[in-house]
Structure 1
Amino acid sequence: MQLKWTLLIGASALVMACAQTPGEDIPDEAVTTPEEDIEQVVEEPTETATVQEYPAALFHETISWGLGSNNGYVFSHEDGDILASTDETGIFNAVTLDEAGAVTALTMSDDNAVYAQSFFPQDDRVLVTSDSGGNEIYHVYVREEDGTLTDLTPGEEVRASFVGWRDDGEVFYVQTNERDPQTNDLYEYSAADYSRKMIFENDGKDIADVSPDGRWLALSKERTNADSNIFLVDFLADDQTPELITGHEGDISYGVYDFTADSETLIYATNEYGEFNQAWTYNLVSGEKNPLIEADWDVSFVFDSPTGRYLVSAINADAVTELTITDNETGEAVELTNIPDGEVGQVRFNRDESEIAFGVNTDTSPFNLYLADLDDGEATRLTDALPDAIDEDDLVTAEIVRYESFDGLEIPAVFYMPKQASADNPVPALVWVHGGPGGQTTKGYSATIQHLVNHGYAVLGANNRGSSGYGKTFFHMDDRNHGEKDLQDIVYGRTYLEGVEGIDPDKIGIIGGSYGGFMVAAALTSEPDVFDVGVDIFGVTNWVRTLESIPPWWGSFRDALYDEMGDPATDEERLRRISPLFHADQITKPLLVIQGANDPRVLKVESDELVEAARENGATVEYVVFPDEGHGFQKRENRITASEAYVDFLNTYLKGEPEQQDADAGGDNAVE
């Protein structure tokens, strides 16, 4: 699998997520796009359309939904209620939905997000996880039938996660770093009384999965950001030393998808045979390996249904997730009906596999939950995530486009053109830079982006070299080259936008979060005349300090991260060269910085120092700090405040309109 350090996955409902230097000849499969796609251009607006503009509060009053863990029991044991998480109250809590979509709250937190994981197999107890103020120190709790919460993983610095259940329902698995902050050990918990025992003391590998019968443990280990391995532990063997099952030469990435329902086979990912991740099988007894799924794109995930009758798989087809449910008895794909044309995800089976719960996401409608009968595939929508006050016709469906970078490399991008844009009414534009490093901007609903587009800003979600989803050659093109050639891909995003009819070529800014925030600050320091404004959302500004302050629970990723970004002990000169903080005197264009006070990945001091240094040199800088957030936004009121801050800032410094703070923005953030 292609694995990179992920600074951020998902902020304001969009993946925002740090490869070998490109040679003269890039293989075709590095971009892997049909010729007609490479030549694709944006459909030019022919006339100005009228749309209603909505405040950020409405876009973020879209209700976010997510189903319980695929490794757990998402349907209750008796009445078939569905376990989910939702921010309907303004912050995520665990709930159940019945077959008519009626919601019953299980938790009622008003400060820390709570995420549903699994029902217990024989009663209505529920496993949930929660951290504190976005600090990512997650604990695992049991929500008892009387509504009280029992912390199964106490300890101020203990970070834990739910792994899954044994198929007899008597025990469940939890991993925690309580013994060693830099690694996770595996514990087996009794469903009856929560007594536990450590069943695997880890030496720094990543716990990937436990087989349904509890016999096998799959582990993964990154050697570099291009090379990784899979190990197996047989708990029935006398020697339980992890066994390497992916011995190889050269750089090949392997990752774990799932154990099959019969506990006889491991389904795993590998890019050994081409540019993209394929799904292969490994027989746990014989060691025989065989291909399972090959595609012209990455296989994103594969898993068995609990009985093994169905196989669920998905590919990442040019920034769109294409999911297939195969009935292994017939060999036919299950056809789901009565759903919109969009991305299907989070498929969860009920106890007898007669029904599935799942979600559907489109560019203009948030992730809604559905229930479908597997006999006929007919689906019923359970949720309505888009507020009635928003006319979906006012929202914009994205296009997949490509443009050439400085060296001729084709850069894929997701493009949103406001409906009110035309040759007679050109609009300002933004280059949106995803997080990661190695993330990907994909199609799908984003409240933040739709709010920007609704207010007249075109958005180009550029997937610069180093992005995932376009082959391993493309993926590794930014290794030890961050803030340089990948930044030029973003710079050339402006060049592309300047040639699109309906866009004002003199009003183009840059926006991004996490690694994308770093790219914003890097653009304003190393290419100070390119973009007219910048919005830096908790971006890295000092790579030396960031790499030295990696949270302890990321210990297993440190070597791979240093391989990609550089070791601060030996590469300090280059890391300082690409770090915006040390060049803040070059910032001349208006800059908005957003930061969470509890961020464990990009420390608040990163933003503090950049803001101070830029202001000392006369730059216009607005700074918004959220005291109750970490790396991203868990609270709706903060998402609203941030989105309004983006539009107010852009209206003032890019459109040139007076600043107007929406009355509904709210939030206890500190604005400097």
Structure 2
Amino acid sequence: MQRHFFTALALVALSFGALAQPASNQNDTVKPGDNLVLENIPPVPTSIDEQTRRYGDFRTAAHLDWHPQRHEMLISTRFADVPQVHWVKTPGGERRQMTFYPDRVLGAQFEPGGRYFVFAKDVGGGEWFQFYRFDVQSGEITLLTDGKSRNTGMVFAHEGTRIAYSSTRRTGADNDLWVMDTADPKTDKLLTQLQGGGWDPADWSHDGKQILLVEGKSINESNLWLVDVASGEKKQITANQTSENQVSYDNARFSRDGRGIYVSTDFDSEFHRLAYFDLATMKPKFLTTDIKWDVEEFDVSEDGKTLAFVTNENGIGKLYLMDTATGKYRSVTALPIAIITGAKLHRDGRVVAVNVTSAKSPTDVYSVDVASRKVERWTESETGGLNASNFVEAQLVKWKTFDGKEISGFLYQPDAKKFPGKRPVIINIHGGPEGQIRPGYLGRNNYYLNEMGVALIFPNVRGSTGYGKTFTKLDNGFKREDTYKDIGALFDWIGTQPALDASHVMVTGGSYGGHMTWAVTAYYNDKIRCSLPIVGMSNLVTFLEHTEAYRRDLRRVEYGDERDPKMHEYLEKIAPMNHLDAMHKPIFAVVGKNDPRVPWTESRQILDKLNAQGTPTWFLMANDEGHGYAKKKNQDFQFDATVMFVNSCLLEK
């Protein structure tokens, strides 16, 4: 996790409902929470909840931070309804819960002395994150930020108790740079005014005099700046870019002597390489050129001698350890073959923590001894009592799309002996769109495979990350329809597979995947039985007009600027909202009332018109959630309703 709070949300992969008949006895149905708003969803039988419950009773664990003096750590895991901070003192040791809130806690980081840690929390999924100080000795919790603005990107100075972070406090839209001595919240001050919502501090110099600042403009373009802590003045250290020559810089860190910085960048490359820039010349020295995949993240030890980095190699994560003096590195082979994230070196440089997840294991925390390469497992998350070794592994599949390009994805197939014959299919499209489906733990989705005999396909359409920056740009602006066509080609590919039933296909996805679901429902209605858009956009014009101000310009880079007449016309032309006549198959829309990214009205506005024309629709809204459901009780109800939906409209003969 490096030395930042990451605020990306994990969307529930699949959750819908059914067009089944209401149960005759209300005592045999699940009572929805008062926080849920339901429309046209029949009562959920308790029998369905009993069948699905074990698949939802899994946990995950993620590393948050090492204790500065001891080999002990803070992790995030859930024992009640939402993830909270827990303390683990030894590999496989007790998970001692530290925070107890009705809402999720998203990050925690020790101050360098270890006397307290600072954590981030929002309310009801609204993403207006606040920082709090947790005193280890007394257990006292103190609010550090203003309680109103959105605060992100917190990074501690290497020594002392100061933090740098981004806040929308001044305008509600701009991510300014703030600093604070966390021992005294009254020291909080605006250091540098900035324009736009893409700014975050990356690191402090070891002498505490400079802050390395990242200006994110899009997934393909960012700049690096140095900020003088005494004066607040900033200086751009990367070259200005053009639309034809965009460069991305990520995960920037100062070297121990302060003369240079380490950064992952796609400078002169399709993929992100690890590079060292001498601050005097800003000439790059590329350190991982022989690896033809993205370096997704890295961390540098406090003494500057060791660098740990993680690559994404066709969806599989690999951890490497580098000696910075020689530049030599080698992979850690003793870790499971899986997705690896969150690499974080202890301050003593002797051990690195990572998060590991695979189809047969929920996310858990491991450590690697830098010298001996010994691997130890710190957590072993529960799977609801199910034998995870029996879960289905992903199969990498590829198909040619309309323009001859190759698109890939992951296919999960149910047991052919238990479920013979052609199997119905659920296509699940990831969000972003600057994201990537990787073969991780399926959670509740295993129910579709193991109990319902439904095959799952997770495509990485154009615009996905992980396949080079050119591929990521293929859906920008006026190219938006091309990514819809990639799913059209997937329908054709399904028709050629002897084990898949092309006449029984459902499409779903969350966030941008929800938008794709709306679009596929409009453009390929004859190819599907039903659809489930989760927190998805029905019209990119209205979405851009109403998403929160701090993210609006960042999204315009991807989707196009709706204020431009030609782009406005194009986005209206392709909007699912304006293709209602083609949409007649059952639709189940899921939203969160407090969603700051995709307002819940994006689904409401299209459902009202679909209802008027007689299209069967269901609607589920949680008043205490935002961009995807974080609370287990809401996830459980969403999934139970989804199982009914699948039974009724996908499995119907």
Which residue of the partner structure matches residue 669 of structure 1? none
Whichever residue aligns with residue 263 of structure 2, its letter is Y
1:421, 1:503 → 2: CA distance? 15
Which residue of the partner structure matches residue 320 of structure 2? 324
Which residue of the partner structure matches residue 43 of structure 1? none
Aligned counterpart for 2:483 among listed residues 476, 483, 486 = 486
Which residue of the partner structure matches residue 79 of structure 2? 88
Instruction: Give the Å deviation of 1:534.
Output: 0.9
Whichever residue aligns with residue 453 of structure 1, its letter is L
Which residue of the partner structure matches residue 280 of structure 1? 275
1:529 aligns with 2:521: no
Aligned counterpart for 1:151 among listed residues 136, 139, 143 = 143
Instruction: Give the Å deviation of 1:573.
Output: 1.9
CA RMSD of the aligned region, Å?
2.7
Which residue of the partner structure matches residue 348 of structure 1? 344
Whichever residue aligns with residue 271 of structure 1, its letter is D
2:218, 2:375 → 1: CA distance? 44
Instruction: Give the Å deviation of 1:206.
Output: 1.2
Q: Conserved in 1, the CA contact under 8 Å of 2:586 and 2:615?
A: yes
Residues 13 and 103 of structure 1: is their aligned pair in 2 closer, same or farther, counting only changes over 3 Å?
Answer: farther
1:468 aligns with 2:465: yes
Instruction: Give the Å deviation of 1:365.
Output: 0.9
Instruction: Give the Å deviation of 1:353.
Output: 2.4
Q: Conserved in 1, the CA contact under 8 Å of 2:166 and 2:199?
A: no
1:604 aligns with 2:595: no
1:107 aligns with 2:103: no
SS of the equivalent of 1:589 reads: coil
Instruction: Give the Å deviation of 1:133.
Output: 0.2
Instruction: Give the Å deviation of 1:335.
Output: 6.2
Which residue of the partner structure matches residue 178 of structure 2? 187
Which residue of the partner structure matches residue 197 of structure 1? 189
Greater Cα shift, 316-325 or 242-251: 242-251
Aligned counterpart for 1:595 among listed residues 588, 591, 595 = 591
SS of the equivalent of 2:66 reads: coil
1:374 aligns with 2:366: no
- Report Cα offsets for 1:153-198 as digits up to 9, x if no partner: 1243x11125212122232223211112122222222243332333
Instruction: Give the Å deviation of 1:551.
Output: 0.8
Aligned counterpart for 1:495 among listed residues 492, 495, 507 = 492
Which sections of structure 1, spanning at least 5 residues, go unmatched? 1-5, 15-52, 69-73, 658-672
Instruction: Give the Å deviation of 1:80.
Output: 3.3
2:50, 2:400 → 1: CA distance? 34
Residues 148 and 267 of structure 1: is their aligned pair in 2 closer, same or farther, counting only changes over 3 Å?
Answer: same
2:332, 2:292 → 1: CA distance? 24
Q: Conserved in 1, the CA contact under 8 Å of 2:338 and 2:358?
A: yes
Which residue of the partner structure matches residue 507 of structure 2? 510
Which residue of the partner structure matches residue 440 of structure 2? 444
Residues 307 and 450 of structure 1: is their aligned pair in 2 closer, same or farther, counting only changes over 3 Å?
Answer: farther
SS of the equivalent of 1:293 reads: coil
Whichever residue aligns with residue 520 of structure 2, its letter is A
2:82, 2:221 → 1: CA distance? 38
What are the within-5 Å matches in structure 2 for residues 15-26 of structure 1?
none
Whichever residue aligns with residue 65 of structure 1, its letter is A
Q: Conserved in 2, the CA contact under 8 Å of 1:129 and 1:141?
A: yes
Instruction: Give the Å deviation of 1:499.
Output: 1.8
Which residue of the partner structure matches residue 229 of structure 1? 223
SS of the equivalent of 2:647 reads: helix
Which residue of the partner structure matches residue 233 of structure 2? 240
What are the within-5 Å matches in structure 2 for residues 40-119 of structure 1?
55-68=51-64, 74-99=65-90, 100-109=92-101, 111-119=102-110
Whichever residue aligns with residue 426 of structure 1, its letter is K
Instruction: Give the Å deviation of 1:404.
Output: 1.0
Aligned counterpart for 1:648 among listed residues 626, 644, 647 = 644
Instruction: Give the Å deviation of 1:398.
Output: 0.4
Instruction: Give the Å deviation of 1:315.
Output: 2.2
- Report Cα offsets for 1:502-559 as digits up to 9, x if no partner: 2223211211111111111111222221212111111101211111113122255255
Greater Cα shift, 262-271 or 98-107: 262-271
Q: Conserved in 1, the CA contact under 8 Å of 2:319 and 2:331?
A: no
Which residue of the partner structure matches residue 125 of structure 2? 134
Residues 384 and 565 of structure 1: is their aligned pair in 2 closer, same or farther, counting only changes over 3 Å?
Answer: farther
What are the within-5 Å matches in structure 2 for residues 559-638 of structure 1?
560-561=557-558, 564=560, 566-567=562-563, 570-638=566-634
TM score, norm. by length of structure 2: 0.86
Instruction: Give the Å deviation of 1:226.
Output: 4.5
Which residue of the partner structure matches residue 209 of structure 1? 202
Whichever residue aligns with residue 550 of structure 2, its letter is W
Which residue of the partner structure matches residue 19 of structure 1? none
2:146, 2:307 → 1: CA distance? 37
Whichever residue aligns with residue 460 of structure 1, its letter is I
Whichever residue aligns with residue 261 of structure 2, its letter is L
1:298, 1:372 → 2: CA distance? 22
Whichever residue aligns with residue 635 of structure 2, its letter is R
Instruction: Give the Å deviation of 1:344.
Output: 2.8
1:314 aligns with 2:310: yes
Q: Conserved in 1, the CA contact under 8 Å of 2:507 and 2:531?
A: yes
Which residue of the partner structure matches residue 261 of structure 2? 266
- Report Cα offsets for 1:308-327 as digits up to 9, x if no partner: 22211222222222221224
1:459, 1:364 → 2: CA distance? 16
2:569, 2:615 → 1: CA distance? 26
Which residue of the partner structure matches residue 254 of structure 1? 248
1:430 aligns with 2:421: no
SS of the equivalent of 1:137 reads: coil
2:635, 2:500 → 1: CA distance? 27
2:470, 2:338 → 1: CA distance? 29
Equivalent pairs, count = 605
Which residue of the partner structure matches residue 46 of structure 1? none
Residues 228 and 123 of structure 1: is their aligned pair in 2 closer, same or farther, counting only changes over 3 Å?
Answer: closer
Q: Conserved in 1, the CA contact under 8 Å of 2:212 and 2:226?
A: yes
Greater Cα shift, 161-170 or 646-655: 161-170
Instruction: Give the Å deviation of 1:98.
Output: 1.2
